Each structure stands twice: as structure tokens, then as C-alpha cells.
Structure 1
Amino acid sequence: MSQVSVREFSYNPSSMFARVEQGETIQVTRHGKIIAVLLPGASGLGRYAPLVARGVLRLKATTTGDLDRIPRYGVPADVSPLDLLLSDREEDDR
């Protein structure tokens, strides 16, 4: 995942979008604080985009191919995906 400043982004937004189209995730910062995350629109990433946008999930992957290796969980409608993930992590720690 790359970081660029608002100023760098504003100089050439087309090149930033081209990088995202190639699968790169870019964080846009202002004074060192992340204010936006540009995510590829690929189907593998699409299901994580809302969690990334809300700050619940931080991606370390640099391509959508990396995201395909993230495990998939079947989540019932009445269960929080985050609670399910945390429960799974607790089991791994035992």
C-alpha cells in the first residue's frame, strides 16, 4: 500500500487512478494523516471496501491478487463479521 500527499495527488490524479487500476491501494494523506484510501474496484476487493472505508480493516496487500488469499467466512445475517473474525483469532491464540 502506498501513501501520497494531497499535493502529490492533485498534481496528477490520472496517474494515481492508473496505479489503482493496476491493483495498487493508495492512501492519500494531509499533514501525515490518512484522509482517503483509493481501492481497486476488482471483485475480490469489493467486499472489503466498506470495512476499509470505515477504518475497521486496514489492508496491507499491494495487489488484488494478495487479497484473494484472505480467508472467506460465511456470515449469517444476524452475526457481526467482526465478531466472527475476532472469535476465530481467539481460537488461533489457544
Structure 2
Amino acid sequence: MSTISVREFSYNPSAVFARVEKGEAVQVTRHGNVIAILLPGSGPVARYADLVAQGKIRLKAATSADRARLPHYEVPADVSPLDLLLAEREEDDR
């Protein structure tokens, strides 16, 4: 998650919203204190927006290198993603 000051945000809010639309979470600070967290309205981060807003969880900033290390699975339309995951776990246990 990146951090910007209120002043930086006020100079070009459209650019900040464009970053959020691309999936980035942005903290807005005033005098070093977080006053707002902007989260994407869709995508993987969106499911956590309510929990972040309530202060129950904090999201760690993910770099492109972090995302590159995550496994990617091609899932055929007629196959359950859960079944693929469980099958992979069984193979790892052997």
C-alpha cells in the first residue's frame, strides 16, 4: 500500500483515483497520521475494504515482485477451482 499526503492528493486527485482503479491501495496522511485509505472497488482487494475501513485488518503493500511469485492457475470453465487446489495439496503430501 502506498502512502501520500493530503497536499499531494489535493494536487491531482484524478491521478490517485486512476492508481486505485488499477488495483493499488493508497493511504492518505495528514501530519503523518493516516486519515483515509482508498481501496479498489473491485478485484482481489475489494473483498477486504469493509474490514480495512473498520480497522480490523491492515493490508500490506504488495510489490509487482510479490505478485509475480504468486501461483497462477488456468481453470477450465467446467472444473471447480477448489477441486484443483485440493488435488494439488494431495500431490504435495505424497
TM-score above 0.5, yes or no: yes
Cα RMSD (Å) = 2.0
Residue 16 of structure 2 aligns to a residue whose secondary structure is helix
Identical pairs, percent: 66
Unaligned runs of 5+ in 1: 70-94
How far apart, CA to CA, are the structure 1 residues paired with 2:46 and 2:22? 15
Residue 55 of structure 1 aligns to a residue whose secondary structure is coil
TM normalised by structure 1 equals 0.62
Unaligned runs of 5+ in 2: 71-94
TM normalised by structure 2 equals 0.62
Is residue 2:47 matched to residue 1:47? yes
How far apart, CA to CA, are the structure 2 residues paired with 1:46 and 1:21? 11
Residue 29 of structure 1 aligns to a residue whose secondary structure is strand
Aligned length: 66
- Mapping of residues 5-16 of structure 1, within 5 Å: 5-16=5-16
- Mapping of residues 23-34 of structure 1, within 5 Å: 23-34=23-34
Paired amino acid for 1:31: H
Is residue 2:33 matched to residue 1:37? no
Structure 1 consecutive aligned stretches of length 4 or more whose deviation exceeds 3 Å? none
